[in-house]
Structure 1
Amino acid sequence: MPPSADRQPAVLMGGIYLNPLKLKRNSIQFKLFSGVLIVLVPLIALLFFNNYYAIHVVRDQISVSNKNTISLYMRQIDENLDDVSKYIYKLALSDPDLIELNQKGLTDSYMLSKVRLSNELSQDILLLKAVDSMFVYSIPNQDILKTYRNSPSDALFVYSQLMTRLQPEMQSNEDITKQWYAETIGKEHYLVTYSKTDNVIIGAWVNVKNLLTPISYVNKGENVTPLFATDRGEPLVNEDFVREHQIDLNRQTDSYYMSGSKEQFLVVGQKSSISNISLIALVPDSDILKGLPYLTRVIILCFLAVALLVPFSLMMLRKTVLLPLRRILMAMKLVKEGNLKAAITPYRTSDEFEIVNDSFNGMIQEIETLKISYYEEQLQKQQAELKYYQLQIKPHFFLNAINIIYNLAQVKKYELIQELSISLSRYFRYMLQTNQYSVPLDKEIKHIRNYLVIQEHRFPNRFQYEINVENQALPIPVPPLAVQTFVENAVKHAMSMDRVMKLTIDAELRKDEESTRLWIRVQDTGTGFSEEALAKLRAGERIVDEDGEHIGVSNIRERLHHLNPGSELTFTNRPEGGASVEMLIPV
């Protein structure tokens, strides 16, 4: 049964609506749900852990392999670059031809030194592997000596930009040695180093792409992207590739990490020991996981098996256990609410539930029979009490009424005698009706008027009454003598020969969003209830005084409870004096 709109949101599992907010910890649904979770959660966690562990192991292996490779190449590059740095340092300290270049003026000795130095550099550059060009710049003569391994097409542009950027060093009087650093000239990236001694700058540079040529050749056929990056995470090679996949290169390269937006890449790096760059390898994660096809299939099959097994198991539990229990619980709930017709309709189920259903239906039939018998017995008892109360006509009331008629006859007030006789006959006729369980409020009010007319003649000038009843309330049924009993009690206990007693009866219909109820109030101007009597009335106890036990109020309370469930009786003392009784009867 789907949950209604006003209930808490439920989860559908295997055709069963499980509301985790309303599941009681001791319920079968909670135990079944918990049992399924206890089995599934460790299984799923194991599958996830196994998959994660396998992926982690493969990534570790791939990262170690690539780490070893790029570390080897980074050491080779560092060694080659260090050889160039040592060569430049040695040349600056020991070559005599550099002395002539420190002098200003293009003399013959200057030109001879320049030719000898050019020949020396042209021979030595072939032995230095990690360099594209070497240069010697004479600051006094603003003359540059260049030599190339292979003359690059952009060599002139590189030197023009490089000389411009070295202007601050040229104007300095101090000796400067600059280790290899990354320099961007145009759209290309270069590694540059130089040493300034006196008025001569000796330096070398290499295009970063040329440093990757041996690595690209070795990794040919593998989907691995090598590149160089600065210590700020700026790529020096394959910039478009890094930007397209949004790969973060600004992390520590001590161990591998995963990065990338569209596709994840395993990032492994090795920092150079003599420059501000790092050699990095990017391996696509998809290529790494291709090495786990069998394990991936097993995990997928396990997930599919669990996904199919759980709903099937829950459907079987629902059909064999939960639905029969739900039918029994729904029937028991209806019985608890008072519906004894809530038998479980026979249906095909397990033998144990069939026995329970048959026993439940038989028990409900027996309870219904016993309840009907008890209800009839209670009604007979109340009817007997009502008859007793109706026949409980006090002799002094009857004698007082006859005495009033006699006195009126002496003064020859025949019209009052007729009026009193009619009221008295109607009063006794109503009191002797014992076969009705309820009467319209209009009929009860008419009977009360007859009674009050008699009392008005009995206590002339000392008794007043007022009746205010809405027309909508007149046809509402009430138990007979329900209001009359409280009227008689008011006259009996509130009447005094020292003052005028006024009796007021009000009745109206009160409606709210949930129900409509008949409100009746009887109040007088007497001395009110005693504290003891008020406590007993509110507690529902019977009152015993010198006249014996009073069954009228208890009888009304019982009849309202059985015939009008939800009725309320309220007893209070008025602040200005007198008693007040209020009744609320559901319509």
Structure 2
Amino acid sequence: MNSRLKILSWSSIRTRLITSVLLFTLPLIVLLLYNSFYSIDVVRNQVANSNRNMMTLYMDQIDQSLEDVDQYVNSIAAVDPDLLVMGTTRQPDEYYMAKISLSNKLSQALAIYKSMDAFFVYSDQEKELMLSPQVGRPFEERERMRVFLNQLMLDKNSNGSLLHAADWKITQLNNQYYIYHIVESGGSYIGAWVNANRLIGALGLIDLGEKGQSLLTTSGGIPLTTSSLLQDHGIELNHSLADYYMTGDKTRFLVVGSPSLRGDFNLVAVIPDEKILENLPYLRSLITFVALGSLIILPLGLLMLRREILLPLNRILAAMKRIREGNLDVRIKAAPSAEEFKLVNETFNTMMADIQQLRIDVYEEQLSKQKAELQHLQLQINPHFFMNSLNMMYSLAQVRNYELIQELTLCLVGYFRYMFRSNLSFVSLKQELDHVSNYVRIQELRYPDSLTSSMEAPDYLMNASLPPLIIQSLVENAVKYAVTLDEAVHIHIRIELLDTTDEPKMRIVVQDTGKGFDEEVLKELQEGRKLMREQGGQVGIWNICERLRLLYEGRAQISFANAHGGGAIVEITLPMNAETEHS
């Protein structure tokens, strides 16, 4: 019993959520809204289908009338002798007789094809346009079309697509749209035109409501017939006519239409939504009542939902977002909320404290591991070098060359002093180059006629920081694999500054004149694989790659190549920033 009361407690999120949902989703409101909008949708679909069928019927009639005119014009162009004479004869008498005869034929045809405003014939040879208009057509309109057609014919080279088109074309003259079609026949052209407003004159008898209208449009939605309705109500006609759609700013309109098969235009009906729903007064009243009731209840429900659910969730989400950004010190502050949210907040805070402590422990362990690994890599010394140095000193002692023994001893002292500075992660470039000079001098004493070297580094980079033994390891690798007793080898070290857009970088290039990398070895180096060929092989170049990875975390690059004239080239690029400054 107590557990049930606890579940039904007002402080439980379950009870509060159920109460909030009931405020928004009462079954009666849902049912009324569904029935109301479903009924409206059904009525709109029926009206849209009815008017679409009507538009299709009228569009078919318009297309049929245009097709009849096409057939008549094509028959004249194909077999009429008068049109042929007008395009080919050079006798003025024959030309004018043919012109009069053809004009009479076209005037008689206008009585049959009443949908057309005029027929016209153009003689390319005489550069003359003949119009046969319907009786009662305005003189200004005929003159506008005469000027347009004359210009069209004179520029027929650039208007070839209009003169040889199979469908009817559209042009705009003095804010009026005209539909025309032209057929070529030898040296003449014959065609017909009609004002778009007259083409749909019979559609004005259709009852589409006080604000409704039917009109012709282009496929891009531009009205071809006069209409102030579109601009006054913000009606858009550039949507697809595959199905009906609603448009309009304040007053909503249903738009349906049918495309023409004879030209690039559509017949569209614009029907006001109030005309569609005028037979549903009770339904509209019910919708209004439900809408007003919902507007009253909705703010109260949203306020409760925000206070009891959204605000606690937002506090959790804000804390998680800050944690994702790396701030592990975030905790959710205590605030009045449901019991479930209190439990979640307390568990979250405890979990974050444990994670923060665990992360600190793991980080300290990783630092210790990396430090030990770096010290191990830096302390790896080739035992052959040590033994060879002692042998050299013994040999010089036998021949009593004390000057070279002193020089060799000083170089070895500097060399081993530098090698045992294992507590440093970075040294200056000057210290590294001094160490390299000691190492190279020792090797030059070992191979007196087989090894030479040179260094090229600007003074302003001498205080730049880099990991110890980076350059020396590359030089040691070159001595090991390039120097032979058969041919002298030169090792060149070049240091330069790269001023890139993101941060300045230091480029180190070590190049020798030996035989270069083996193809197999070079391939493995370029692919980043670890070499395990000889004893100590992994301590050389692999040592450098591992240390750069640990110290720079991917911000340093190393590349390997063979020079065209022979020899190996190793290039290292190191970032120069405050984190790696030598102190």
TM-score of the aligned structures, taking structure 1 as reference length: 0.48
Between structure 1 and structure 2, the one with the greater Rg is 1
Q: Which has the higher contact order (CA 8 A, sep 6+)?
A: 2
